[in-house]
Chain A
Amino acid sequence: MKKPLLDEKRMGALLLFPSLITILVIAIWPVLRSFWISLHDVRLNNPTKTQVHADYGINLEKFSEVYPVLKRNLDAAAGEAEPDVKQELTALKERAEKVNGRLMNDPDIARKLEQVDELLLEGDPVPEELRTATLTKETADEIMADLKEIRDVLSRLAEEKKLKDDTLSGLGRGLSESVIEPNFVGLGYYVKLIKDKRMWDALENTFVFTVISVSLELILGLAIAIFINRKFFGRGMVRAAVLVPWAIPTVISALMWKFMFDGQNGIVAKWFETIGLVSDMGELLTTKFGSMFAIIFADVWKTTPFMALLLLAGLQTIPRSLYEAADVDGASKLRQFIHITLPMLKSTILVALLFRTLDAFRIFDLVYVLTGGGPANATETISIYAYKTMFAQMNFGEGSALSVVVFLCVALISGVFVKLLGADLISDGRGK
C-alpha cells in the first residue's frame, strides 16, 4: 500500500481550513474589532470620524471643496468691507494660503490634492484612498492652530454683524473640520456606561425577561414533553404542529402578537380584559408591566414547543425499565419524577437552558417589532439599546461598547453553564 500524500493530520487541517478561516474572518475578527471600535469616538454622521484614526490626518476631499470657495469669498468680502475688517480678512486669507502651502509642501499630499481637485471639478466621486492623507502631529498642530484662528475670527466677525451673511463663518468651520484627529478615547465609553442609568435599566430588563421567560419555558416545556411522551392517535401531526411556532420567523410572530395585543382591536387583549388579567385592553402595550408581560408571553408561545421537543428527545432516552423497577418498589409518580426523570434529564436540561438563556439574553427582533423597546424604554433590552445607539444616533463607538457589554454577559453566562456541564458538551463522542 503506498503511503498517502497527506497524512491524517495534514488532511484534517486542510479540510478544516475553509471553515476555520471563515469563522475567524466573519466572527472572531468582528468581535475583536468591536472592542477596538469601542475605544474610539467613531460616528458615521461626522465625516472626520467615520473610521478609527490612530494618526492625525486631513480630509482632502473636504479641504479642496472648501478652500477655494473660502479664498474667493474672503476676497469678495474684503473688497466691500470697512478698512479694519478688510485688514482682518486679508490676514485670514494669507493664513489660509499658508495652510495650503504647508500641505502642498508634501509631494504626496500635493499629488493627491491635485487629483481630488480634478475629480471634484468633473463631479466624480473621490475614491477612498484619495480622500484622506496622514499628517505628522507637528504639521497637524500647526494647521489646526491656523484653521482654528480662521474659524474663530470669522465667527466673531459674523457675530458682530460685520459680514454680509453667515457663509464665511460656515466655510471657516468647514475648513477647520477637515483636520482629522486621532479619536482614541480609551475606556471612556465604559466609564460613561457604568454611570449610565439607561444601560442598567436595559440590563435589568434583559435579565428580567431572560429569567422569567426561560423558567416558564422550562416548566411548561417539561410538562408538555411528559404529556406527549406516549403513543397516541395523531402523534406526528401534533409534533408538526408543535414545530410551527418555532419555524415561523420571529418577526412574523411578533407582528401576530402585536395585532392580538392591540389596545383597540386585539382579541387577546380583549380576552385578558374579560378574565380580569388586565383592567383595560390598552394596558398591554402601553404600560411598563403590560409590555414586559406581552413580550414574555409572545416569547413563551414561540419557544416553549422547541424546549418541549428537546426535553421529549431526552425523555425517550431514559430506559423504561427504571420506571418499571420503581413501580415494583412502590415509588409514587412524583418520586419517580424527582429520582429518575430529573437526574437522567440533567444534561439535556442544562444544554437546553444554556441555548435558551443565551438566545433570550441576545433578544432583539421580537422586542424591536413588538414594542420597539417602549413604552418609555420599559422593554428596552441591551441589544436594542446598542442598536439604537449605533444606527439611530450613528454613534458606533458607544454602541460598540454596549455590544461588548452584551458579549461579556453572554460569555459569563456560557462560562457558568459550561462549568456545570463539564466536558460533556464537546466530548468527542468516541470514548463511549
Chain B
Amino acid sequence: MQKRTGILFYPGMILLLAVLLFPLLWQFVASIKPPSELFGDEAFRFYTSNPSLENYELVFTLRPFATYMWNSTVVAVLTTVYCIVIASFAAFAIARLHFPGKSLVLGLVLAVSMFPQIATIAPIFMFMDSVDLTNSWIGLVIPYTTFALPLAIWNLTTFYRKIPADLEEAAKIDGATIMQTFWKVFFPLAVPGTFTTAILVFIAAWNEFLFALTINTEEAWKTVPVGIALFQGQFTVPWGEIAAASVIVTIPLVIMVLIFQRRIIDGITSGAVKE
C-alpha cells in the first residue's frame, strides 16, 4: 500500500485501463456511427464524421426496448426487496443468536449458492408453466430467489457479525426483547451493509439470463439481457442498435459503480476475505 509509484507505473496503469475500457468505448463509437460505417473499410475507424442518434431512436421505436427496461427494473427491484427483507431476519439470527445447527444453516446457504441454475430449470419451468406464471414478473422473481437469497444471507451475515457485542449486551440489560434488539439496535447499524447487499442483489437480478430466456418468452415480458441478445435483423446482425442498447444499459451501471465503488468492493470481498 505504501509502495511508491515507479516510472513504469502510470504507463502500465493507462494500458490496463485501456484494455478494460476499450470495448465500452468501441461500443459507444459503434452506437453513433451510421450503418454504412459499421461495415467495410470504415468499420475500423475510431471516429465518425456523421455521428447520429438514429440507432438510439430505433431501439425505442423499432423494438420494445422501454418495455424490456421496465420488466428488468420491476423484476430486479421486487427480487431485491423480497430477498433483503427475509435475509435480514435470517442473517441476524445466524450472526447474533445462540442456537444449535447454525453452521449447518450457513453451510446449506453456501451449498445452495453453488447450485448450477441449469439443474433447477426443468422443474421450475414445468411448475411455472402449469400454474400459468410464465410470461409474468412473479414467474421470474420466484426463481431469482435461488441465487439472490443465498447471496443476501451470506453478505448480511458478515455485516451483522461486525456489529460490536457490547451493544447487544446493553440492550439485553435494558430488558429489550430479541425483536426489539433487532429493530432498534442492529437493523439501524446494519443499514449501510444492507444497502451494499441490495446493490449486489440488484445487479445479479438485473443481469440474469437463463431463467429469463426460458420463462418469459413473449416480447412484452422479456428482460433487457434476453431482449438484446435476441435482437434480430432481417439480413445482418443489427450491430448499431445492439451497440446503442448496450450503451443505454451500461451507463446506469457505470454511474452506480462510480458512486458506490467502495461499498460494492466491500460487498464482494466481505465473504471471501478474513480480516
Instruction: Please give the residue numbers on chain A whose beta carbons come within 8 Å of chain B beta carbons, in ascending order.
Output: 1, 4-6, 8-9, 11-13, 15-16, 18-20, 22-23, 26-31, 33-34, 37, 44, 50-51, 128, 224, 227-232, 236, 238-245, 247-257, 259-260, 264-265, 267, 270, 301, 305-306, 309-310, 313-314, 316-317, 320, 347-348, 351-352, 355, 358, 361-362, 364-365, 368-369, 383, 386-387, 390-391, 396, 399-400, 403-404, 406-407, 410-411, 414, 424-430
Q: Is A267 within 8 A of B26, CB to CB?
A: yes
Find the residue from A11, A20, A248 having the highest chain B CB count within 10 A: A248
* Cross-interface CB contact of A383 among B111, B116, B229, cutoff 8 Å: B116
B275 beta carbon closer than 8 Å to chain A: yes
Q: Is A362 within 8 A of B86, CB to CB?
A: no
* Cross-interface CB contact of A11 among B97, B250, B258, cutoff 8 Å: B97
B94-117 residues with Cβ-Cβ distance < 8 A to A are 94-95, 97-100, 102-103, 105-112, 114-117
B23 beta carbon closer than 8 Å to chain A: yes
B156 to chain A minimum Cβ distance, whole angstroms, is 10
Specify which chain B residues have a CB less than 8 angstroms from the CB of A232 in the assembled complex: 5, 9-10, 13
* Cross-interface CB contact of B273 among A248, A310, A404, cutoff 8 Å: A310
Q: Is B161 within 8 A of A429, CB to CB?
A: yes
Q: Is B43 within 8 A of A265, CB to CB?
A: yes
**Complexed CA–CA distance, A429 and B158 (Å):** 9
Specify which chain A residues have a CB less than 8 angstroms from the CB of B188 in the assembled complex: none
A31, closest chain B residue (CB):
B119
B175 beta carbon closer than 8 Å to chain A: yes
Of all A-B residue pairs in the complex, the 3 with the closest CB atoms, nearest first, are A313-B269, A30-B120, A33-B123
B1-28 residues with Cβ-Cβ distance < 8 A to A are 1-5, 9-10, 12-13, 16-17, 19-21, 23-24, 26-27
Instruction: Please give the residue numbers on chain B whose beta carbons come within 8 Å of chain A beta carbons, in ascending order.
Output: 1-5, 9-10, 12-13, 16-17, 19-21, 23-24, 26-27, 30, 38-40, 43-44, 86-87, 89-90, 92-95, 97-100, 102-103, 105-112, 114-126, 130, 142-143, 145-146, 149-150, 153, 161, 175, 177-179, 203, 206-207, 209-210, 213-214, 224-226, 228-229, 239, 242-243, 246, 249-250, 253-254, 256-258, 261-262, 264-265, 268-269, 271-275
Specify which chain B residues have a CB less than 8 angstroms from the CB of A411 in the assembled complex: 114
A28, closest chain B residue (CB):
B112
Specify which chain B residues have a CB less than 8 angstroms from the CB of A28 in the assembled complex: 112
Q: Is A348 within 8 A of B272, CB to CB?
A: yes
Q: Is A247 within 8 A of B253, CB to CB?
A: yes
* Cross-interface CB contact of A27 among B13, B115, B179, B262, cutoff 8 Å: B115
A348, closest chain B residue (CB):
B273
**Complexed CA–CA distance, A368 and B124 (Å):** 20
Q: Is B228 within 8 A of A27, CB to CB?
A: no
Q: Is B272 within 8 A of A407, CB to CB?
A: no
Known: A30-B124, A256-B26. Is A364-B114 also a contact (CB below 8 A)?
no
Q: Is B118 within 8 A of A241, CB to CB?
A: no
Specify which chain B residues have a CB less than 8 angstroms from the CB of A249 in the assembled complex: 206-207, 209, 224-225, 249
Known: A8-B98, A26-B145, A428-B102. Is A320-B1 also a contact (CB below 8 A)?
yes
Known: A249-B224, A265-B43. Is A390-B268 also a contact (CB below 8 A)?
no
* Cross-interface CB contact of B118 among A244, A260, A387, A425, cutoff 8 Å: A387
Q: Is A260 within 8 A of B23, CB to CB?
A: yes
**Complexed CA–CA distance, A242 and B103 (Å):** 34
B109, closest chain A residue (CB):
A23
Q: Is A247 within 8 A of B257, CB to CB?
A: yes
Specify which chain A residues have a CB less than 8 angstroms from the CB of B120 in the assembled complex: 26-27, 30-31, 34
Specify which chain B residues have a CB less than 8 angstroms from the CB of A259 in the assembled complex: 26-27, 30, 239, 242-243
Some 8 contacts from A to B, beta carbons below 8 A apart, are A8-B97, A12-B102, A18-B89, A19-B87, A22-B86, A30-B121, A361-B116, A390-B122
